[in-house]
Amino acid sequence: MAKVKNDGARRWLALLAACAASVAGLHAATATRFELGSRVAATAEPPVSRPAVKPCAVTLFSHEAFDDQGDGSSMAARPHRFEFAPPKGCTGGWSKVVLAMDFSVPAGRQFDRTVALWLGGVNLYFGTTIEPEPGVAQHWHVERELGDYAALFRSAQPGQLILNNWVSPTTDQPIYVDARLLFYPASAAQPAAAAADRVYALSSDPRGEQTPLQDGAQELSRTITFPRNVERAWLDVIAQSQAHDERWYTCVDKAYLERTRDYSLESFEACDGGSYRGVEVRVDGQPAGLAPVYPWIFTGGVAPHLWLPTPAIQTTNFIPARVDLTPFAGLFDDGKPHTVAVRVPGADHFFNVAANLLVHLDPHANELSGEVTRNTLAAQQPAGLVVRDTLHADAAGRIVGTIDTDMAQEGEVAGRLRTPRGVIATTVHYTVGFRNHQTFARPDDRRYDETIDQLGTMSLAVERTLDGKRLDGYTVQQRDPLYLASRKTMHGTGQDFTAEVAMRQGHRIEAAHSGAQGKPYRAVLDEHLATRDHADGKTIPDPLDRSDFAHAEAGSEQATFTDSLGSCYRTGLQSRDERLSVVSEGEGCPGKVNRLDGRSRPDHPWLLPLSSP
């Protein structure tokens, strides 16, 4: 058990050493962290880049055991608490703040579990754990860059980690966690990050806790009286599907439920509520911003053997969606309380939601004024959603056909702010698209074939002007495809079945930022994952050791990150029979080496730091 954990730590220490050995201002080379033939979790996703200076470290947890005795299906996790104090020896500005966490679970039986880390009510990390096997322990590493949140770390704060792990006769293994915050001092080569001046948690718990939203009408909200010199504001949101909603992309409207129930891979527990889910942000009850819900798939999801050794995209480390609320800055500056809320249109029992509000203040004025000048976002979400079907009985009386769910909408929010520099006008334009096309076929009396072709897209264009002249702006293009194909074969006279399952998943974010002067910045993150294997017919699959049918896993994952700072990261993985079979690193990059500039943000949804006001 300890040996597995230390092996993982050594690999990541090698990575950190490679980064630290680089020269300030140059690109940091990443070291390999893969082992051919291994069944231990591996991901091609890029790590957080780091400056070439020694950080100050604050330990939050050291090999903390999450091993409460109880019912494995319980949601009532016991939080593990800690007290944070700012780092000693790094009291100046920080160029980066990095959260580094290591998880391990001994060989045995355990389900995937939800885990979230909080400080002062603010969410620092959200993800899920990896299931072990009877003869294979698991360990994995996650990181998040938190320079935007630097204001939070200036004072002592209470915090807690919530990991819903239970040890019982059927789930017999604890999960261990190490967590540290690394503070990188600012330097001439890499100055202090453009951090927010205020960080507000929407959590109702002073230490922090995710909020379950049972349907699309429920909200996570907080009423805040802001300083009167707010100039910019962003909301970071994570919406994690759970329970009935876990595989929301397979759901159908209630009208279709009975006719398609037999196609489900959940032992006839098909889900209704439709196949669309999204994020809507509201200010004082009015629509204020939109964000997509990423179709995260946990390592117990759909078919557990699909995700060995490569988990689905972001499974262990969710990336938050960021919503620009700057058009509301003038409203926030009026000295009155204002309510910021998040809801999940389409939710149908249930979504865990966490949200943090980041606010930048004008250093040249104690009081600003302004107003929202235009808001064309639809009052009710989702807007423009259309569902069509061709379901019918074939010649043998078997239900076949299609269900197509499509949505397209545009909207714009604009605001004006009077400052000592002049009048700043901000416009945020959204273009959102979604499709989920499901096809149902019956090749014979024992077969149920289904395909799901889904694509979520969002285009965001933000521009600021100062006294009518362009000040700065950015664009973000996000594209999240998902494809699932299953060939389900019934056995005997009961509900037992096996299925051949194939899944593809993608995530692409392209961001461009430019000011009135200076060279524009561009960054692209592009990820693709494909996997196939067999599934068995159980509503909640047993841990991996209880699966008694043949497997033929094969998978691949590719991740690419490039930006105009010169960063280049390209990594590809392939697996066969649940073992890592091929590793490719740096192919297509200069010198065939992955290099990340210390200023780059491959981990961030917008791929670059917050712009200073």
In this predicted model, what pLDDT tens digit does every residue of 552-568 receive, in sequence order?
Answer: 899 999 999 999 999 99
Checking if the pLDDT of 29 tops 50, the result is no
Checking if the pLDDT of 11 tops 70, the result is no
**What's the token pair of residue 47?**
């790590």
Percent of the chain scored above 70 by pLDDT?
Answer: 91
Is the pTM for the entire model greater than 0.85? yes
The CA R_g of the chain, rounded to the nearest whole Å, is 24
Contact 445, 438 (CB under 8 A): no
H or E element that contains 472: strand 469-490
Q: Scan for tokens 């819903």, then name that residue.
A: 164
**DSSP secondary structure, 485-546, as one string:** EEEEEE-SSSS-EEEEEEEEEEEEEEEEEEESSS--EEEEEEEEEEEEEEEE--SSPPPGGG
Checking if the pLDDT of 26 tops 70, the result is no
Q: What is the pLDDT of residue 549?
A: 58
In this predicted model, what pLDDT tens digit does every residue of 431-444 receive, in sequence order?
Answer: 999 999 999 999 99
> Confidence band (pLDDT; 50, 70, 90) for 321?
very high
Q: What is the pLDDT of residue 169?
A: 86
d(CA 238, CA 116): 11
Checking if the pLDDT of 80 tops 50, the result is yes
> Confidence band (pLDDT; 50, 70, 90) for 535?
confident
In this predicted model, what pLDDT tens digit does every residue of 277-316 receive, in sequence order?
Answer: 999 999 999 999 999 999 999 999 998 899 999 999 999 9
d(CA 92, CA 306): 46
What number is the average pLDDT over the span 361-377?
98
Our measurement of the distance from residue 54's CA atom to the centroid of its chain's CA atoms, rounded to an integer in Å, reads: 28
In this predicted model, what pLDDT tens digit does every residue of 481-502 receive, in sequence order?
Answer: 999 999 999 987 677 888 999 9
Beta strand pairing call for 175-185 and 138-145: unpaired
Shortest CA distance to 154 belongs to which of 60, 86, 94? 86
Contact 71, 171 (CB under 8 A): no
> Confidence band (pLDDT; 50, 70, 90) for 546?
low
Question: Any residues with CB less than 8 A from the CB of 538 and at least 6 apart, and which?
Answer: 267
In this predicted model, what pLDDT tens digit does every residue of 250-267 receive, in sequence order?
Answer: 999 999 999 999 999 876
> Confidence band (pLDDT; 50, 70, 90) for 448?
very high
d(CA 55, CA 415): 40
Handedness of CA 246, 251, 254, 258 (dihedral sign): negative
Count of other CB atoms within 10 angstroms of residue 22: 18
Residue 151 in 3-state DSSP?
Answer: helix
**What's the token pair of residue 315?**
């499974």
User: How many residues would you count in the chain?
Assistant: 613
Checking if the pLDDT of 12 tops 90, the result is no
Amino acid at 495: Q
Shortest CA distance to 215 belongs to which of 254, 258, 244, 237? 244
Count of other CB atoms within 10 angstroms of residue 468: 8
In this predicted model, what pLDDT tens digit does every residue of 102-127 receive, in sequence order?
Answer: 999 999 999 999 999 999 999 999 99
Q: What is the pLDDT of residue 30?
A: 47
Q: What is the pLDDT of residue 77?
A: 84
Q: What is the pLDDT of residue 32?
A: 63
d(CA 112, CA 301): 9
Shortest CA distance to 29 belongs to which of 562, 599, 593, 573? 593
Q: What is the pLDDT of residue 457?
A: 98
Q: What is the pLDDT of residue 23?
A: 32
In this predicted model, what pLDDT tens digit does every residue of 146-199 receive, in sequence order?
Answer: 999 999 999 999 999 999 998 988 889 999 999 999 999 998 888 888 899 999
Our measurement of the distance from residue 180's CA atom to the centroid of its chain's CA atoms, rounded to an integer in Å, reads: 20
SS3 percent helix, strand, coil of the chain, rounded to 5, is 10, 50, 40
Q: What's the DSSP call for residue 467?
A: T
Quote the Cα angle for 574-576-577, to 5°. 150
In this predicted model, what pLDDT tens digit does every residue of 196-210 receive, in sequence order?
Answer: 999 999 987 888 999
What number is the average pLDDT over the span 335-349?
97
Q: What is the pLDDT of residue 545?
A: 56
Checking if the pLDDT of 339 tops 90, the result is yes
Shortest CA distance to 319 belongs to which of 555, 574, 82, 525? 525
Q: What is the pLDDT of residue 17?
A: 38
Q: What is the pLDDT of residue 20?
A: 37
Checking if the pLDDT of 232 tops 90, the result is yes
Higher model confidence: residue 92 or residue 603?
A: 603
Q: What is the pLDDT of residue 276?
A: 98
Strand partners, 322: 236
Q: What is the pLDDT of residue 22?
A: 34
